[in-house]
Amino acid sequence: MKYIIRAAKYFLYIAVFLVILLVLLSLFNIIGGNVNEIFRNGTKSVWQIALLLVAFSALYPALSFGRRDAIVPGSFEQIRDGVIKLMEERGYMLEKEEGENMVFRFRSPVRRIFHMFEDRITFTRSMSGFELEGYIKDIVRVISALEYRFRSE
């Protein structure tokens, strides 16, 4: 269900962006104001573009969200405060903590909006440290910072 919601969000986000772009271009007389002037095939092109957006939106969550392992040595009690401090330095706040698992979200509402409220990073305790789940671009950066901060000397 989460996958379908993400795909729908991306479809709406891209569609609204394209509509705003076309309206602005039309207002500044860069393109014509009629659909038949803007697109080669007129209204037929609108449906083709919509199908392209549906395909892209359906693929994007599969490519952009996932899980990665972070190797963080030490017991949870030893590393917990360091993990929370690192995440706060990166603009996240602790949303909830259940046992040795933690969930972080952006502190800034602006950053949350630009991530379409898909900014949650879930830390699940594993044998080697943590398994992080979330937006891959963000979790790769967090994993790099975690492993650098907690690496063994």
Tens of pLDDT, residue by residue over 40-62, are: 888 888 899 999 999 999 999 99
Which residues make beta-bridge pairs with 92? 106
At 14-25, the pLDDT tens digits run 999 999 998 898
Rounded distance between C-alpha atoms, residue 140 and residue 152, angstroms = 20
Residue 153 pLDDT class (50, 70, 90 cuts): very low
Cβ contact 76:150 at 8 Å:
no
- Per-residue pLDDT, 152: 61
At 65-112, the pLDDT tens digits run 999 999 999 899 999 999 999 999 999 999 999 999 999 999 999 999
**In the structure encoding, which two tokens stand for residue 74, read together?**
């030490």
* pTM recorded for the entire structure: 0.80
Residue at token pair 């309206």: 23
Pairs from 99-103 (Cβ < 8 Å, separation ≥ 24): 99/125, 100/76, 100/125, 101/125
Residue at token pair 């440290």: 129
Which residues make beta-bridge pairs with 67? 133
Cβ contact 115:10 at 8 Å:
no
